[in-house]
Structure 1
């Protein structure tokens, strides 16, 4: 076992482990650490705890020190300089007629490098831009092309559900999302209905998939023969999240299906899984996929 703290360098970014060197670091406090990019100031996202040796990559770098007021003031000065650098870079991009969209600017804590994040449809020859920016700021310049999902994470916004983007509020890193997840969650396969503002499949399809799988094991599929308090019947529709079933009773098949909860029925014969079966969840209820 090893004692570690988790440090995050962006508001909603990946958490990295560091060795606190025996010092208690409360959650939310600022610390100075050494990273591959140099000395950085990060925020403690996870206070001191013991973790298994197999979950960390050794050697684990130690925390340099707790951040001082001087460090925090320097961080604030960097934020102001980033806004100025953003304005300068926009003018330079226009000057060189480059087909790129500037997204964000980031100063390293010690000011030894400035990172400019941008999106573009293809490769961009920005060599002259880098030279010009270096002559203005007199420091190392790095231009980093990012994807549309990273752009949404940096800029933030509201999703089709009306809530702030998941990626910019609580998702630390992106996970692969597949169209199969939308099928299993009973959603419309229209790309415009299951895609986020970034144009990619919605992140919630991934992190909610586990819940659908767990509830799906408890919920009879459409086509299942079940025993109810009013006699046997066949499940015609199922909602895996609410557990609400519509059952066509065998004693009166011409009558409309009756509604039961999954805990109130017993499966006699499981139905076969099939694409297009109505096994929806709350995203349908929120009209994300309706």
Structure 2
């Protein structure tokens, strides 16, 4: 049975479950590389997932995903990974002012609060104080048109990351 763990990753953190069977046993506080919806990221192990969440005698399972559908931990982080992560953080801090200026130049109503590179440096994530809206899309499109790479604009509010609301089609019945 896979060893499920909770991992916190990202500058504005997200927590997700991962399958760590390939590298078990693993301890709280260890750093691991995980493949997330954003790309490869460095994360911190928070805790193993309690098996009672899957135990059918425990009542209705709280966890809906099957263990087989969980993303896998790529590997434990080594010192070179930690060094590379620090270098990416420094690079992001150096680019912050440039991105603030681009937002002003492109006349967007967004406030940049942070940015980060994914560990594989394939995507730059811009965290903006705003709801998901046209200016977020414009920022991503302007960046692509300027040849600045793959940019993900992630709105943030007082409650954390702003997610895309689930679409229910044209009404509330849930049919598409």
Give the TM-score of the pair, scaled to structure 1.
0.45
Task: Tell me the residue number matched to 1:93.
Answer: 103
2:107 partner SS: coil
1:46 aligns with 2:54: no
8 A contact 1:30–1:66 mirrored in 2: yes
Compute the RMSD of aligned alpha carbons.
2.7
Classify 1:44/1:56 alpha carbon distance in 2 versus 1 (closer, same or farther; 3 Å). farther
Q: Which runs of 5+ in 2 are unaligned?
A: 55-60, 162-176
Equivalent residue number for residue 90 of structure 2: 80
Pair 1:60-2:61 in alignment: no
CA distance in 1, matches of 2:88, 2:154: 19
Structure 1: runs of 5+ lacking an equivalent? 152-290
**CA distance 1:56–1:18, change in 2 (3 Å):** farther
Kept after mapping to 2: 8 A contact 1:26/1:48: no
- Cα contact 1:20–1:48 (8 A) shared by 2: no
2:20 aligns to what?
Answer: 20
Separation in 1, partners of 2:89, 2:111: 20
- Displacement after TM superposition at 1:3 (Å): 3.0
Distance verdict in 2 for CA 1:143–1:12, change over 3 Å: closer
Q: How big is each residue's C-alpha offset from its partner over 1:56-78, in whole Å with a ceiling of 9 and x where there is no partner?
A: 51222222211111111111111
Aligned to 2:81: 71
Question: In the superposition, relative to structure 1, how do residues 48 and 142 fare at CA in structure 2: closer, same or farther (>3 Å)?
Answer: closer
**How far off is 1:48 after superposition?**
7.0
Higher RCO (CA-CA < 8 Å; seq separation 6+): 2
Query: CA distance change for structure 1 residues 33 and 85 in 2, over 3 Å: closer, same or farther?
Result: same
Alignment partner, residue 33 of structure 1:
34
Match of 1:105 in 2: 115
Q: C-alpha distance in 2, partners of 1:16/1:5?
A: 8
- What is the distance in 2 between the residues matched to 1:41 and 1:101? 26
Q: Which residue matches 2:173?
A: none
Q: How many equivalent residue pairs?
A: 148
Tell me: CA distance 1:5–1:127, structure 2 relative to 1, closer, same or farther (3 Å). Answer: closer
CA change 1:51–1:70 in 2 (3 A) is farther
Change (3 A) 1:48 1:147: closer
Q: Is the 8 A contact 1:3 1:51 kept in 2?
A: no
Q: Deviations over 1:136-192 (max 9, x none)?
A: x4x2112233334338xxxxxxxxxxxxxxxxxxxxxxxxxxxxxxxxxxxxxxxxx
Q: What is the match of residue 57 of structure 2?
A: none
1:147 corresponding residue in structure 2: 157
Change in Cα spacing, 1:126 to 1:65, as seen in structure 2 (3 Å) is: closer
How many angstroms does 1:12 deviate by? 7.3
